[in-house]
Every structure is written in C-alpha cells, then in structure tokens.
Amino acid sequence: MIVPEKMSLSDFVSRRLHPVKVTISLMRHELAHNSKGDNTEMSRHLLSSAISTLELFVEDYEKLISSTTKASAAMADRKFVEDAKPSLLGG
C-alpha cells in the first residue's frame, strides 16, 4: 500500500489501527476457545491472515517514518540566504 506523502503519523495510525485491533481480538478468541493446556490450535489460514495484517501495518508505518525522516533531514540541510535589501542611502 502506498502511503500518501502528506499523511500525518496520527492520521496514519488512526486509519490502520482497526485491522490490527481485529487481529488482536481474533488471536485472543483463539487463545480462549482453542487452547488445551499450554497448546493452542489455530488454522494455518487464520494465522497467515493475522501475520499478513500485522506485516502490512509495520511496512506502511516504516514507509511513512522513512519518508518523514527524509523530508525532515532535507529541510534541515537547506540553508536559506537572507535577501539583502539595497541601501537607498548610498554609502
């Protein structure tokens, strides 16, 4: 997924947090209802989907952070020259 350049970190997290919360609920459900002692059974398909959801969140987050870090570094490297106004007094 391509992260929009102008998206703030809080907007990013807000938009992508819901699938992560659903994944956490799914894993809690599986732990509560499919556990026998220390072992929990979960279908390969559900586990794969949960991992993919978390991977997408992490990848998009890393893209956003790297783009904002690069933009901040580029702005810090810029040096602005103050415009010298010509003197009308001559001298």
58 inside domain: yes
How far apart (Å, rounded) are the C-alpha atoms in residues 15 and 9? 10
Q: Assess if residue 3 is contained within a domain.
A: no
User: pLDDT tens across 8-67, in order?
Assistant: 778 877 788 899 999 999 999 999 999 999 999 999 999 999 999 999 989 888 888 887
In contact, 20 and 57? CB cutoff 8 Å: yes
In a domain, 61, yes or no: yes
Q: Please report which residue ranges of the chain form alpha helices under DSSP H.
A: 9-33, 44-77
How many domains is the chain built from?
Answer: 1
Residue 6 within any structural domain of the chain: no
State pLDDT tens for residues 74-91.
555 555 555 555 556 655
DSSP symbols for 50-75: HHHHHHHHHHHHHHHHHHHHHHHHHH
